Structures are given as structure tokens and as C-alpha cells.
Homo-oligomer: A and B are copies of this chain.
């Protein structure tokens, strides 16, 4: 927590304890809504309720509410009367309101929608039809667009009269049927003679997306072309909305968190549950149970080799290192491929090259680690054959693990399963199994030398 927020938090807590509401009120007026929202993370339920009610200006309250994280706002909304919620939501951009309503318990969401003014709830219900993770789900519908048949002067006047249109930097130009025909920058508008018709100055090369485009793809386009906003159109190229770069930043952060969580077998969904342990445990358990099954299978294989093991008990000392390293190397390769798919750096065209690169890297690292662990085996158990078996098993297991780390995510992506969620347990389990098979297989083969 940075100092500014720390100080603000202490002051707010002190004022709440003292019941110094007018002072709090003044303080809140001078504080950025994003900073007010930040405070809610650290406040208890009662403090949250008091503070939220003290935000007098409904527009500020709306901004605060839309900036609070979902896990915190879910708690907060339970504390506030329905009427206040409805009032605040009606003062919010529709897309933010949709976002909050979609994260409410279903009952409350229905009640809230019922109590809203008809035009507002209509808009919101329409937006709710789009999938949450598509362009339609994150676009803002309050757009400022200009008809192609007006002049630059008229456009500037329209702009001066427009209110509440957040962040106008691209001016989208449409024809009389609301089809998107092109884009203008505010600066271009200032540069042309005031009498020129927009149709003659508009740039027709505008990058747009469909409402059902995946939000990750939207983020990639914005990042690739360095644009500040992207218009959303329907199947007939009619302008539906706009996605601004600040929403894209949220998407990128969220997608990165999602990928990171998924690869560890957790789900970003748990952020919505705050500190509710049972719900969180339920989200993480399926992945763990798959791994548990894998672990039991590995154990079964070891059980299978018990005769070899009973004969040469020293073999046991390298089981953890063989399975562990296979898992690590496979995890590295899988991480690089999964992230590569997510950022677009790797695709099926370059996969072959990536495969052979990881194979070579796995082999090199396997040779190094095999030498080290083989050396340790010789020094520890005074048995050069054991060193040979352990070392070469390690080299082979690591090389196989690296290739598995490329193939598994690629396979899951090809059959349409999210590689981030499927690869890690699969890679880990299969590498445990192949590691044990290679290790004990070689040991059984050389058993006569190992005594």
C-alpha cells in the first residue's frame, strides 16, 4: 500500500470512529474516486457502509462503485438499501452498471433491474445479452459519432455541446443508416477549413471489431496497432459501441491473472469470493484431484517395480529428483507455449520450430543435470553403475518432459480446450509417469550391475 493511501486510510478510520461526518464529507470531495475505491479493500463492513453513504455526489458514488473490486463490492452491496443501489447504478455508464449487476446474486440483480427506470433497464438488459468476455460485453454504448454529411464547423459545434462523453479522441463518422464509414481525429478536425464536409476528410481505414469478438483478441488489436479506442459494429457494419483503451488495460490485466491462476490450477473466479474458504476450495479441488489420480498412478508404477527396488534400495534416493525435475522442465516448456499462444507470439505455423528448440534446450539441460545427479549418486553410494543409470535416466526424462511441455498445450489448443488450464496437470502427471518408467526401466535393465 503506498503512503498516500495509507495516510488517507488512517484519517478516514479516525473520522469514522469519531463520527465526524462533515469532515469526512469534505475529505471525500477532495479525493479521487479511484482512491476512495481503493480504501474499501481495507475497511470492515460497517466502515464500508458508513463511507459509501457519505459520498454525497451520486456521480462520484457511481465512479467509486465501478472502481471497487468485485469481491469487495459484492459485500458492500449487501449492506446498502436497494433504492440507493438503483439510484447509483442509473448514474453510471451502462457498461459499468452491467458489469456490477452481472456480479450480483441473481435475486438482487432481478430486483434491481425491476426497480430501474424503463429506458435504463432496457439498455442494460440489451447489453447483458452479450457474452461477458466479448467486445459486446465490454463496450460502452454512449458514443459520440458524427454524420458524414455535416461540415467541420458543425462537427466542432456538436462537440462543444456534447456533455458527459468520456474521452473523445477519435471521432467516428457514420452514414444516415448508422453504418460506420470512417474515423477522424480531433486534431484533423481543427486543421481543415471549417466549411469542408466530413465525407471528404474522413479516413476510411478504420479498425473495428464485431460484437462477438473475443475480448482477448480486442486487446491484441489495440496493442498491435497502438490505438486508443476501437469501434464495435454489428454484422452489417452498424456502429454499436466503442471500447476505450482503459477498458482494454483492465482486460489485459484480467486475462494475464486468469492465465497465471489457471496454470497453477486455481481460477480467477475465486477473487469474487474474497475470504470464503469453502467456495475457493471447491474451485481448486477438481484440478488437485486430477493430479492426485496421477500421483496414485505413479505410485502404482513404483509398486510394480518393488522387486527392483527391494534389491537395490539405493534407487529410492533419486525418485524425488527424477520426478521433480521432469515436472519442472515440462512446466517451463508448457509455460512458454501457453503464454506464447496467449500473446500471439507462438502459433501453429511456428510450433515446429518451438518444438525443436525446446527439445534441444531440454537435452542440454538434461545432460547438465544428468551429469550432476550421476556424480552425486557415484559419490554417495560408491556405485558407478548407479551413477550411470540415474544420470542417463535424468537426461532422457528431462528431454521427454520438454517435448511433452510443447505437445500437450498444442494438442489442447487444437481440440479447443484452454491450454492454460489443461496443460499443467497433464504435463506434470505424464512426466511423473514417464520419469518413473524410464528410471526403473533402466534400473531393471542394469540390475545385475547395480548390486
What residues make up the interface of A, taking CB atoms closer than 8 Å to B? 1, 32, 34, 38, 41-42, 67, 69, 156, 159-160, 167-169, 186-187, 190-191, 222-228, 245-246, 248-250, 252-253, 256-257, 259-261, 263-266, 270-271, 275, 277-278, 280-281, 284-285, 287-289, 291-292, 294-296, 298-300, 302-303, 306, 309-310, 313-314, 316-325, 327-329, 331-332, 334-336, 339, 343, 345, 347-350, 353, 356-357, 360-361, 364-365, 368-369, 372-373, 376, 428, 432, 436
Contacts and interface: CB of A to CB of B under 8 A. Distances in A.
A147 B369 CA distance: 63
Given A256-B256, A277-B364, A320 B292 contact: no
A277 B313 contact: no
12 contacts: A34-B225, A41-B345, A156-B190, A248-B249, A257-B343, A260-B263, A284-B361, A287-B328, A288-B328, A291-B325, A294-B324, A299-B317
Contacts of A261: 335-336, 339
Nearest to A30: B205
Given A186-B186, A329-B288, A365-B288, A321 B296 contact: yes
Contact of A256 (B252, B323, B361): B252
A386 to B, nearest CB: 12
Contacts of A223: 246, 249-250, 253
A398 B220 CA distance: 38
Given A253-B223, A259-B260, A280-B357, A295 B321 contact: yes
Nearest to A37: B224
Given A226-B34, A245-B249, A365 B187 contact: no
Given A190-B156, A223-B253, A332-B264, A309 B316 contact: yes
A328 B365 contact: no
A256 B343 CA distance: 10
A69 B222 CA distance: 16
Contacts of A167: 169, 228
A266 B313 CA distance: 34
Q: How many copies does the complex hold?
A: 2
Given A252-B249, A252-B256, A365 B284 contact: yes
B260 A335 contact: yes
Contacts of A314: 303
Contacts of A335: 260-261, 263-264, 266
Nearest to A222: B249
Given A245-B228, A277-B357, A313-B306, A288 B69 contact: no
Given A280-B361, A284-B361, A316-B316, 4 more contacts: A222-B249, A264-B335, A302-B319, A306-B316
Across the A-B interface, the 8 shortest Cβ-Cβ residue pairs: A295-B321, A256-B256, A264-B335, A277-B360, A298-B320, A299-B317, A281-B364, A226-B246
A400 B82 CA distance: 43
Contact of A299 (B252, B280, B299, B321): B321
B253 A285 contact: no
